[in-house]
Chains A and B, each alone.
Chain A
């Protein structure tokens, strides 16, 4: 049991650090489309580390499979929301072009 806790703590610590940085980045970046990059970190590495830590702590097959399903679900739904927010920003912000540089590589 204690070995599991010792193994899980680094992952939990990394997750807390990632979530903290996410909030920090949220306040540091000034424009919504940059802030979304910071928000993407918690959805991927943050949640991944939490799930790995919980998987180590439980150590049974079925709960681990369920945790993997949570990760799959997060990975499938996360991009949809990002996509919608970005689309809405580009469509409604009149001066959105001033906030970033456009590069054409077609």
Chain B
């Protein structure tokens, strides 16, 4: 987290100079210290999960591709005659970790055409603009990709 905060500081500062680096290191160190003391942040666990990074990056790449593809699908529905047959799909996910379930729910919401209405425990309620988008939910490719992150 220290490194991420420092990188963020340098991006906002706009240049890598000694004063920027020193001040950024002090501030990032302070925030990291505060989080460790009061917010249950564990550096070992944080850096331990770095091995999940490749799977997570693949997930993000897939998410971006999916967003672009579904955008054009929704565009088609806008320029087509008639109202879409929207539906609310409830399904269960096999993902065990809560952060990943939230990640999947947010990914579903980010892709136009589907969004998560409710997420309780392992039960998703997803609204789809048309039957067409529901196919994606059934495949639940996001959940499959997230499982790879979980197993990594």
- Chain A interface size, as a band, is 35 or more
The residues in B between 55 and 89 inclusive whose CB is less than 8 angstroms from any CB of A are: 67-68, 71, 74-75, 77-79, 83-89
B118's contact among A18, A29, A36, A90, by CB below 8 Å, is which? A90
Contact present for A100 and B68 (CB under 8 Å): no
Which range holds the interface residue count of chain B?
A: 35 or more
A residues within 8 A CB of B89? 103, 105
A34 touches B83 (CB 8 A): yes
Q: Which residues of A contact B138 (CB under 8 A)?
A: 105
A79 contacts across to B, CB distance below 8 A: 105-106, 109-110, 115-116
Nearest residue in A to B68 (C-beta to C-beta)?
A45
> Which of B67, B68, B106, B117 is A90 in contact with, Cβ under 8 Å?
B117
Can you name the residue of chain B whose Cβ is closest to the Cβ of A63? B14
Q: A78-B110, A79-B105, A101-B88 are in contact. Are A41 and B127 (CB under 8 A)?
A: no
A100 smallest CB distance to B (angstroms): 4
Tell me the chain A residues, 40-60 only, with Cβ under 8 Å from chain B: 40-41, 44-45, 48
Q: For window 60-106 of chain A, which residues contact chain B by CB distance below 8 Å?
A: 62, 65-66, 69, 75-76, 78-79, 82-83, 86-87, 90, 99-106
Which chain B residues border A99 with CB–CB below 8 Å? 86
Chain B's closest residue to A60 (CB) is B14
Query: How many cross-chain pairs have Cβ atoms below 8 Å apart between A and B?
Result: 112
On whether A40 and B78 interact (CB within 8 A), knowing A100-B87, A106-B123, the answer reads: no
B71 to chain A: which residues have CB within 8 Å? 18, 41, 44-45
In the bound complex, do residue A106 and residue B91 qualify as a contact, i.e. CB atoms below 8 Å apart? yes
Chain B contact surface mostly: mixed
User: CB-CB < 8 A to B84: which residues of A?
Assistant: 29, 34
**Contacts A44-B110, A90-B118; A31 near B86 (Cβ below 8 A):** yes
The CA-CA distance from A82 to B115 in the complex, in Å, is: 8
Complex: how many Å from CA A106 to CA B11? 45
Residues of A whose CB lies within 8 Å of any CB of B are 18, 21, 24-25, 28-31, 33-34, 36-38, 40-41, 44-45, 48, 62, 65-66, 69, 75-76, 78-79, 82-83, 86-87, 90, 99-106
Closest 7 CB pairs of A and B: A79-B109, A25-B78, A45-B71, A40-B112, A105-B91, A101-B87, A79-B106
